Chains A and B, each alone.
Chain A
Amino acid sequence: MEAVKRRSGPNPFNGVSPVANSLINIFFTIYSLCCILPLVLIVMVSLSNEQDILTMGYSFIPNRIDLTAYEFLLEDWRQILRSYGVTFFVTVVGTLISLIVMSLYAYPISRTDFPQRKFFTFFIFFTMLFNGGLVPWYLVYVQMLELRNNIWALILPLIVSAFFVLIIRTFFQQTIPSAVLESAKIDGAGELRIFFQIVMPLSLPVLATVALFSTLNYWNDWFLSLVFITDDKTLSIQYLMYKTLLNIQFMASNSNAVAAISAAGGVVSYPNETVRMAMAIVGIGPIVFAYPFFQKYFVKGLTVGAVKG
């Protein structure tokens, strides 16, 4: 983002021709629309009338605005709130633990005076080169740790990323002057104190970047749920969306609204198509609003420190 702003070009006459410039503008306008319109379609379907959908299909311009789908979802707020709770907990707790564990590992291997530095760097680096595959990895979590249907199964596997640890280590090496560490030691500060009071505060830029990546990874994760979660209590919001798309009956069969109406003797047809898309909107919402903020720091973060093993 910043990057675009910086270069206004030293020579105003050295630019593309006005015609080329307009062509570029037109192209990017069309492309930007391609990025947004698929989301708009989903929003419009969720605001449509179920009958209209069945006769005319998904459309960018609904025949009439109808909020029934959201009313149905509102009746089932428990499941949605619960799923948001799961996702929120997993994201916050996961990112915090992840940051602490990764920087604690990165610090010693950033210190040139630590004799075992090379071994422990290789120990983490090797995990980027080779992995045991899905089956043994699954068996560790399900048979050894017995974490099936446990919320920690959604947190633990993403705690350490070798790539991020190496990025943090490189940042420590390049930004923290060893003179500062030396003088702190002479003043009698212990290693832990140096780490928490000097190294960590000086490393906020890299920690923020890693935290953002980590937050996004946890928030968008559905794979761990797919593999480890078989009951309906620990559904993250992504997994709830996945299940809804796979089978709308999943929402309908758990619907309080439907249950209430049929208990009263009424007959109800569940607005499958619109509720499905409303569910997607409820799930997508936060990321669309958070991403302009996110992407700004992402762009900065992409240029943080080169990685070497």
Chain B
Amino acid sequence: MALVRNMKKYWVFYVMMLPGAAFLILNNYIPMLGVLIAFKSVNYEIGMLKSPWVGLDNFQYLFKTTDAWIITRNTILYNAAFIVLNLVVPVAFAIFLNEMRNKFFAKVHQTILFLPYFLSMVVVSYLVYGFLHDTHGFVNTTVMKSFGLEPVQWYFQKEVWPYLLPLVNTWKNVGYYAVIYLAAVIGFDDEYYEAATIDGASKWQQIKSITIPLLVPMMIIMTLLQIGRIFYADFGLFFQVPRESGPLFPVTNVIDTYVYRTFIALGDVGLSSAAGLYQSICGFILVFVSNWVVRRIDKDKALF
């Protein structure tokens, strides 16, 4: 009865939410039910619903392959490297930008280092290609030559990519994170610094004992939020930048690219959806754990 009265009073609200709710059901909730595909042996001829249940077969098959271990390792290690770099480099950049005496230069630099953030991964892969192409790339034709070194087939050289990908990722994202940290640094009360100057603290001492300690809570929260997403890789980075070069797969294949390739390229619905569900569940657990930690530090910063 209460619900009917409620509907009558707030019907406009329900109408307003209708398009959004319909979208969420289609784009999110039906696929959530769809994870059940991972427990089926899909046969398109008889349809999704009638396809037979196979229990955990797809998962057993997935974890028997070496791929499962490789993609999990790659996803977590790369993301761990990204998290560290996205913490250290932007914080340093923010502090230095803030200390620049010429504010106009600081502004120009800030604008320029934000540029890569606005480029799509397709564009980034062009830029990397311009440097690394084996016969024309700038590195092989100019840099290696001037050092008298033999050209290297970069897209076949899997040893360099574990360094290259974090480099590209940092290059692309440092502007974004630096701006966030810079906004915080600028907001700190000038009185701390005035008092420190009177006490004779040098600028470096001030950075060490005032700026960084004040930034720590924010650094912790930004880091924990990224840890919550450690099972999700940046598909664009791992798909576009190595240009799907087969010999690089051992060091560039992550869960997201694996799910895409097994599904779209190989058409293996069972294996792909099993890997997808594995990712969703691990991701779900990690979001909860990291959020629980964030809550204990700062209730307002927690997601829920």
Q: Does B211 contact A (CB under 8 A)?
A: no
Identity of the chain A residue whose Cβ is nearest the Cβ of B107 in the assembled complex: A4
Q: Does B226 contact A (CB under 8 A)?
A: no
B12-51 CB contacts (< 8 Å) to partner A: 12-14, 16-17, 19-21, 23-24, 26-35, 37, 48
Q: A1 near B190 (CB under 8 angstroms)? A: no
Identity of the chain A residue whose Cβ is nearest the Cβ of B270 in the assembled complex: A135
**Which residues of the other chain, A, contact B27 by a CB distance below 8 angstroms?**
137, 140, 156-157, 159-160
A54 CB, min distance to chain B CBs, angstroms: 8
Q: A137 near B21 (CB under 8 angstroms)? A: no
Add 10 more A-B contacts to A57-B140, A58-B131, A308-B303 (CB < 8 A): A1-B111, A53-B136, A58-B133, A59-B141, A131-B32, A192-B12, A241-B126, A242-B122, A283-B122, A295-B118
Q: B112 near A132 (CB under 8 angstroms)? A: no
B234 CB, min distance to chain A CBs, angstroms: 11
Q: Does B73 contact A (CB under 8 A)?
A: no
Give the contacting residue for B24; candidates A59, A160, A308; CB below 8 A.
A160
**Total A-B residue pairs with C-beta atoms closer than 8 Å?**
303
Q: B105 near A25 (CB under 8 angstroms)? A: yes
Q: B35 near A132 (CB under 8 angstroms)? A: yes
- B residues near A (Cβ < 8 Å) are 6, 10, 12-14, 16-17, 19-21, 23-24, 26-35, 37, 48, 96-103, 105-116, 118-123, 125-131, 133, 135-138, 140-142, 171, 175, 179-180, 182-183, 186, 190, 193-194, 197, 203-204, 206, 235-236, 240, 243, 259-260, 263-264, 269, 272-273, 275-277, 279-280, 283-284, 287-288, 300-304
Q: Does A89 contact B (CB under 8 A)?
A: no
Chain B interface SS verdict (over half): helix
**Which residues of the other chain, B, contact A299 by a CB distance below 8 angstroms?**
179, 183
A9-33 CB contacts (< 8 Å) to partner B: 9-11, 13-17, 20-21, 24-25, 27-29, 31-32
- A residues near B (Cβ < 8 Å) are 1, 3-11, 13-17, 20-21, 24-25, 27-29, 31-32, 34-36, 38-39, 41-42, 45, 53-54, 56-60, 101-102, 104-105, 107-109, 111, 114-116, 120, 123-125, 127-140, 143-145, 156-157, 159-160, 165, 190-192, 195, 216, 219-223, 227, 238-239, 241-242, 245-246, 273, 277, 280, 283-284, 287-288, 291-292, 294-295, 298-299, 302-303, 306-309
Q: B107 near A241 (CB under 8 angstroms)? A: no
B18 CB, min distance to chain A CBs, angstroms: 8
CA distance A36 to B128 in the complex (A): 13
Q: B141 near A58 (CB under 8 angstroms)? A: yes
Q: A20 near B235 (CB under 8 angstroms)? A: no
CA distance A59 to B127 in the complex (A): 13
**Which residues of the other chain, B, contact A25 by a CB distance below 8 angstroms?**
100, 102, 105
A117 CB, min distance to chain B CBs, angstroms: 9
Give the contacting residue for A135; candidates B97, B100, B175, B273; CB below 8 A.
B273
Identity of the chain B residue whose Cβ is nearest the Cβ of A108 in the assembled complex: B13
Q: A133 near B97 (CB under 8 angstroms)? A: no
CA distance A8 to B101 in the complex (A): 8
Q: B111 near A139 (CB under 8 angstroms)? A: no
A194 CB, min distance to chain B CBs, angstroms: 10
**Which residues of the other chain, B, contact A123 by a CB distance below 8 angstroms?**
21, 24
Identity of the chain B residue whose Cβ is nearest the Cβ of A105 in the assembled complex: B20
Given known contacts A115-B6, A129-B287, A283-B123, is B142 in contact with A59 (CB within 8 Å)? yes
**Which residues of the other chain, B, contact A138 by a CB distance below 8 angstroms?**
263
CA distance A145 to B263 in the complex (A): 19
CA distance A31 to B119 in the complex (A): 17
**Which residues of the other chain, A, contact B129 by a CB distance below 8 angstroms?**
245
The 7 A-B residue pairs whose C-beta atoms are closest, nearest first, are: A136-B34, A133-B276, A57-B141, A132-B31, A105-B20, A220-B120, A108-B13
| A and B contact pairs by CB, cutoff 8 A, 17 listed | A3-B183, A14-B206, A32-B108, A58-B133, A58-B136, A58-B137, A108-B17, A114-B13, A130-B283, A133-B31, A133-B35, A192-B12, A221-B120, A227-B264, A241-B126, A245-B126, A245-B243
Given known contacts A36-B115, A132-B31, A136-B273, is B131 in contact with A41 (CB within 8 Å)? yes
B216 CB, min distance to chain A CBs, angstroms: 18
Q: A191 near B13 (CB under 8 angstroms)? A: yes
Given known contacts A111-B13, A135-B37, A137-B27, is B303 in contact with A294 (CB within 8 Å)? no
CA distance A36 to B114 in the complex (A): 11
**Which residues of the other chain, A, contact B288 by a CB distance below 8 angstroms?**
129
Q: B203 near A124 (CB under 8 angstroms)? A: no
Give the contacting residue for A136; candidates B31, B118, B126; CB below 8 A.
B31
Q: B101 near A132 (CB under 8 angstroms)? A: no
CA distance A109 to B288 in the complex (A): 23
Q: B109 near A15 (CB under 8 angstroms)? A: no
Give the contacting residue for B31; candidates A36, A137, A302; CB below 8 A.
A137
Q: B194 near A10 (CB under 8 angstroms)? A: yes
Q: B141 near A56 (CB under 8 angstroms)? A: yes
**Which residues of the other chain, B, contact A145 by a CB distance below 8 angstroms?**
26
Q: A4 near B110 (CB under 8 angstroms)? A: yes
**Which residues of the other chain, A, contact B101 by a CB distance below 8 angstroms?**
15-16, 21
